[in-house]
Amino acid sequence: MGMLKDFKEFALGSSLIDMATGIIIGVASGKLVSSLVENVIMPPIGYLLGGTNFSDLAYKLAETGGGEKGAEPLLLKWGAFVQSFIDFLIIMLVIFIIIKVATRNKKEEEAGPSQEDLLTEIRDLLKDK
């Protein structure tokens, strides 16, 4: 029964709500970053590289459909991969910054009185006796 009780506390507790909130924010921010990369960052880079559209960059591996007219070639879409990789880097940078700020704030909260403050307090308590 202990495991069932623990699961119930987890499922109905704040940790599940916190996790769900994090997932929702993560999905929304992922879409935002993808749009930022695709629509804001990559066009100027493509322009600087001679008007290249990165999403169209691909290497043709083979013709499909036996060379029939209108058949799609088999493509290795490395340009789309570059865009996805830049998305990933930006998301990882944002997560890194969030974790750095959160751990710094947590350390500040955990920091208690300094050793000097404690010794001064002990000295003052001993003086009063």
pLDDT at 52 over 70: yes
What domain range includes position 96? 37-128
pLDDT of residue 65: 65
Give the confidence band of 76 by pLDDT, cuts at 50, 70, 90.
very high
Q: Kindly report the average pLDDT of the chain as a whole number.
A: 83
pLDDT at 54 over 70: yes
Would you say residue 87 lies in a domain?
A: yes
Would you say residue 28 lies in a domain?
A: no
Q: How far is CA 116 from CA 2, 107, 113, 123, in A?
A: 45, 19, 8, 10
Would you say residue 90 lies in a domain?
A: yes
Higher pLDDT, 7 or 40: 40
Q: What's the CA gap between 37 and 90, in Å, rounded?
A: 9
**Residue appearing with tokens 């998301």:** 91
Would you say residue 46 lies in a domain?
A: yes
Would you say residue 98 lies in a domain?
A: yes
pLDDT of residue 27: 87
Instruction: Indicate the pTM of the whole model.
Output: 0.59
Would you say residue 13 lies in a domain?
A: no
Domain count, the chain: 1
Give the confidence band of 77 by pLDDT, cuts at 50, 70, 90.
very high
pLDDT of residue 101: 87
**What's the average model confidence in pLDDT over 64-70?**
67
